[in-house]
Amino acid sequence: MIAGWRIGPESIHGAYRLPELNSIDFDSLVIGAGVVGLACARTLAQSGRSVLVVEAEARFGEHASSRNSEVIHAGIYYPPGSLKAELCVRGKTLLYEYCVARGIAHQRLGKIIVATNREEAQQLQAIQERARAAGVALDNLSAARVAQLEPEVLCCEALWSASSGIVDSHGLMLALLGDCEQAGGLVVLRTRFDAATPHSDAWRVVLANTKTQDVAGTQTTTLLVREIVNCAGLKAPSVAAKIAGLDRCGLPVERYLRGHYFMLNGRRPFRHLVYPVPAKHGLGVHVTLDLAGQVRFGPDVASWPETIDYNFEDGRREIFIDAIRRYYPSLSADDLYPGYTGLRAKITGPEEPGADFCIAGPAQHGLAGVVNLMGIESPGLTSSLAIAEYVLQQLDGV
């Protein structure tokens, strides 16, 4: 670690200018300061590496990490043996333990997955079998039992996931950032990754200060690092294409799927998370609660924009009302108001099946010291600490 390089108020607000040096400047460069990037940076720093995190935005966690449901998933929806299944189950355990240890606000609320007709009830059986394969127990609930737990919810039968919960995602990121910093890591905002080329047994990387890009030219800095961990979220495939030596044809296509959230006015009618059976590319318009008790519905599967666009389409309201009233029939349309939108980092298109996490390290692409994380959508938040473990193993050749 370079003497005196520690995170501080100036670096956090983008005023820190990186010096140019001729020797190895950092062991590890982490691109992206969302929840997964910060988790990876923390784990790498705690392993004894000197770590630099660069984030193009003015704040950490600006995209998917702050535009989601803040749900701690149980790990019940994903194909057996997939990274999503394994890392979600492992990540859930690590996340609950971490929240307790670091005093991060969270609640283990439990989740009810409801079927409103016989066809959906058959889907519950498939979900239960998939959960069993992942080592997650789900209990069967009758309609009468659901009525006791959630009097406002209408269904014919349901499943109960006791280990599902919610977490303060911002508090989680602050804790990860603090741990990274405590271990000697440095986070620099308004700094974009532009290129990486091999240099002896290291990587020469070019970074640009995004704060100056619209002024009199963009300030750039060249550094030498031993490792590159691409946690750029929505832009991860584009970032991977800037690393020399990667087969561009082998990289997934970068796609975005936009989903909306509507909020509920008035009293809180739910005590638990309530989910319909999954829909294509998502988990259906479901009920989530935040730590203040606010009820929100979503996300839907709205559109596939070609650029990062958080525009809210209020015309989706009727679609939401129809979807919600299937299990919450007493919903008043006047009680819904627009919340926010989020984008999922997709690496398959609308007509293709959903993809597993794509975490490609030296064993996959042959480039020493490089790990690309692409298509890290849900359950990325839940899996973040387990993903960090997995990245460390990839870099260490375990």
The Cβ of residue 55 has, within 10 Å, a number of other Cβ atoms equal to 27
Tens-digit pLDDT profile for the chain (398 aa)? 232 233 333 343 343 444 444 588 999 999 999 999 999 999 999 999 999 999 999 999 999 999 999 999 999 999 999 999 999 999 999 999 999 999 999 999 999 999 999 999 999 999 999 999 999 999 999 999 999 999 999 999 999 999 999 999 999 999 999 999 999 999 999 999 999 999 999 999 999 998 765 555 578 899 999 999 999 999 999 999 999 998 776 899 999 999 999 999 988 999 999 999 987 767 789 999 999 989 999 999 999 999 999 999 989 999 999 999 999 999 998 999 999 999 999 999 998 988 999 999 999 999 999 999 999 999 999 999 999 999 999 999 87
- Please report the pLDDT score of residue 65 as a whole number: 97
Residue found by looking up tokens 């809180």 in the block: 268
Distances (CA, A) of 170 to 222, 287, 396: 31, 20, 30
Question: Residue 285: helix, strand or coil by DSSP?
Answer: coil
Q: Which residues contact 240 (CB under 8 A, 6 or more apart)?
A: 230, 246, 251, 372, 374
pTM for the full model? Answer: 0.93
As to burial, measured by CB atoms within 10 angstroms (0-12 exposed, 13-18 middle, 19+ buried), residue 133 is middle
Distances (CA, A) of 173 to 124, 264, 320: 34, 26, 30
Distance separating alpha carbons of residues 207 and 185, to the nearest angstrom? 17
- Please report the pLDDT score of residue 6 as a whole number: 34
Tell me the H-state helices in the chain: 9-12, 35-46, 83-102, 118-133, 143-149, 169-182, 236-240, 317-325, 362-365, 380-396
- Please report the pLDDT score of residue 7 as a whole number: 35
- Please report the pLDDT score of residue 216 as a whole number: 53
The Cβ of residue 198 has, within 10 Å, a number of other Cβ atoms equal to 14
Pairing mode of beta strands 111-115, 273-275: parallel
Distance separating alpha carbons of residues 5 and 273, to the nearest angstrom? 43
Instruction: Spell out the domains of the chain, with CATH numbers in brackets.
Output: 9-65+171-252+354-396 (3.50.50.60), 111-162+255-346 (3.30.9.10)
